[in-house]
Amino acid sequence: MATHLAIAFKAVGAELVQIWSRDIRNGEILAALTKSTAVSDWNKLDRNADCYLIAVKDDAIPAVAERLKGLKGIVVHTSGATAMDALAQTGTGYGVLYPLQTFSKTKAVDLTKVPLCIEASDPATFEKLSAIAHLISPLVSLVNSEQRKVLHLAAVFACNFSNHLYALSHTILEHYQLKFELLKPLILETAEKVQTSLPEEVQTGPAIRNDEETMKKHMALLREFPEMQEIYEMLSKSIKKKYL
């Protein structure tokens, strides 16, 4: 998250005053990429920046906020699952900038296509944060802490769980000496379809057709994977309940 945001802000000409990192070596890598300066000592933190962006593990946010008290600039975290008020102790304007996207170290992401969910402690902070967010994406929405938690939950279903289903399909293919490669266009098309249609409009497969014979054959192919049989049955049941 820190890497992707820092690179996106640098790309639009924002000045990255400092990169703070617990591990100075990690900080230095990102600082080199963004022509910034790495620090890991809290005493060396520049206290005159306009905005302090926190991109750390959720449970480390309170400890970092503890160090960011009494600043002039606004303090902002980037977590989907953490309430904005985790930053209330900073005693200054605070908020959240949550990019609704999945980031990996090895793959660049075009942030201009990523929805940014923002929330702020007061109208003045909201104005500042909104301007900062608009620097890197036009898709900026006001989303409160409760809604952000719901978005994060929905993303677990649509993204984390879908990826796990890809992994399960890989396990099945491997077991029968088939290549995952063959499924890739299908996976991409499935995701592309719901960019223009609702998922309910494009559901296919044996469950929605109530094709018992195919489902029985599939269960037999999964006989060595009882856990996948359970998942197959539960999701098929859920599809049948929704549509039939």
Span from 19-27, 34-42, 113-121, 123-131 in contact with its own copies (CB under 8 A)? 113-121
- Binding test (CB under 8 A) with its own copies, winner from 183, 210, 223, 224: 183
Q: Does 85 bind its own copies (CB under 8 A)?
A: no
**Residue from 13, 35, 176, 223 binding its own copies (CB under 8 A):** 176
By CB under 8 A, the residues from 218 to 237 that bind its own copies are: 218, 221-222, 227-228, 230-232, 234-235
Stretch that binds its own copies, among 14-22, 84-92, 123-131, 198-206 (CB under 8 A): 198-206
> Nearest to residue 77, comparing CAs of 140, 145, 23?
145
Our finding on whether 23 is near its own copies (CB under 8 A) is no
Whether the CB-CB separation of 72 and 92 falls below 8 Å is answered with yes
Q: Which is nearer to its own copies, 66 or 211 (CB)?
A: 211
Residue 210 makes contact with its own copies by CB under 8 A: no
1 lies in the site for its own copies, by CB under 8 A: no
| Binding status of residue 89 toward its own copies by CB under 8 A | no
Closest distance of CB 101 from its own copies, Å: 6
- Residue 48 binds its own copies, judged by CB under 8 A: no
